[in-house]
Amino acid sequence: MRSGVLPHERGGGPYTVRVTQHHDLLDGVGSGDDDSDHDGPRPGRRRRRRVLVVILSVVALVLAAVVGYIGFLGFTVSNNVSQEELLPEPAPIVKEDGTEVEVPETGTGTNFLVLGSDTRGSDRGRSDVIVLVHIPEDPESVQMIHFPRDLYVSIPGHGKNKINAAYAFGGAPLLVETMQNLLGVRIDHVARTDFEGFKRMTDAVGGVRVYAEEGNSAGGNGGAAIVEGWNELDGEQALAFVRERYELSEGDISRGRRQLAVIKALLLEATSRDTITNPVKVARFTDAATENLVVDQNLTAGDMRDYALELRGIRSGDVVFATAPYSGFAMDPVAGSIDVVDEAGMESLGEALRTDTMDEYLDVFVTP
């Protein structure tokens, strides 16, 4: 980097010493010249020195601006993100049949549980978005698995219910425990935000272009009517888009696919040249993404920076989206409409996570 070279040149480079009495001395220290026929630096040398000073000044200003901007973004993240106890106490992972699962301590990648909550309506105590993000040990891709909130699972201490009921019963720690037992894997970190974050992030990048597998009317979610195919959405419309389920053919499953579609669209916009070359957009997006973000107490700002650096080579096409295995739909007398777990598929998903072979799993079992 030039910032590592220029100070060296400045410290040991072509400084000129003015000599007024002893003309037999070198007039250019370190310059390699030995002329004694003039009293001061030649005009060409003065021009070169002025050019060097200008270059150094510009570089210093640019570096100061970059460092200041990075510092501003770091301050924004540190100031916005809060920490809570979102992970359960360490305990053995026990499957529904009572068998204990041996989970390797290293070499299996990192699992993040990302939760999104909708603070409106009667379900305000439940998590509406449940996505498991798997970062492989050698990250060349990232896998994001959406778990439908109506997935019917065993919840420790509460019998069987919809998976998002675990959040209502015991917050993020119980939901993490539920998913660890369901999959037989360790969840390393948790991040939680709310639907307003979707809205603000969308507006921060100037809207998103989302593909809808099926359309719907404006309905009661406050958004525009959606057509089958591509839709240009602002923040309010994107929020309505991810909330809709009643007019969709597969209800909660279809809504989950819409949520993944918006996440993918946001990733595309946030990493686009138009955004990353626009400091104002980057600052607005960073603020929107972290304003209501809560993470577990084991995840520090330094950790987040390290993960960001580790994933800096990941492109949007390297992020793979899928839905957790389900075999169909049913009615439960207590829980109501439920999504039935595909037991064999869930076992395969857990095995792929434990062995860090998600690419192979998605090639065979993926349900986009």
In the chain, domain spans: 2-74, 86-365
Structure tokens belonging to residue 331: 């009615």
Q: Tens digit of pLDDT for each residue in 229-265? A: 999 999 999 999 998 888 999 988 999 999 989 988 8
CB neighbour burial string for 274-291, b if at least 16 within 10 angstroms, e if fewer: ebeeeeebbebbbbbbbb
Q: Tens digit of pLDDT for each residue in 96-118? A: 777 888 877 766 899 999 998 87
Determine the pLDDT at residue 31: 43
Rama region for 109: left / alpha / beta (φ>0; ψ in -120 to 50; rest): left
Overall CATH class of domain 86-365:
alpha beta
Q: Tens digit of pLDDT for each residue in 167-226? A: 999 999 999 999 999 999 999 999 998 888 889 999 999 999 999 999 998 865 667 899
Q: How confident is the model at residue 91 (pLDDT cuts 50, 70, 90)?
A: confident
- Measured N-to-C along each axis, helices 279-290 and 43-80 cross at an angle, to the nearest 10 degrees, of 20
Q: How confident is the model at residue 314 (pLDDT cuts 50, 70, 90)?
A: confident
Q: Are 163 and 130 in contact (CB under 8 A)?
A: yes
Q: How far is 321 from 29, CA to CA, in rounded Å?
A: 63
Helix (H) or strand (E) holding 74: helix 43-80
Q: How confident is the model at residue 297 (pLDDT cuts 50, 70, 90)?
A: very high
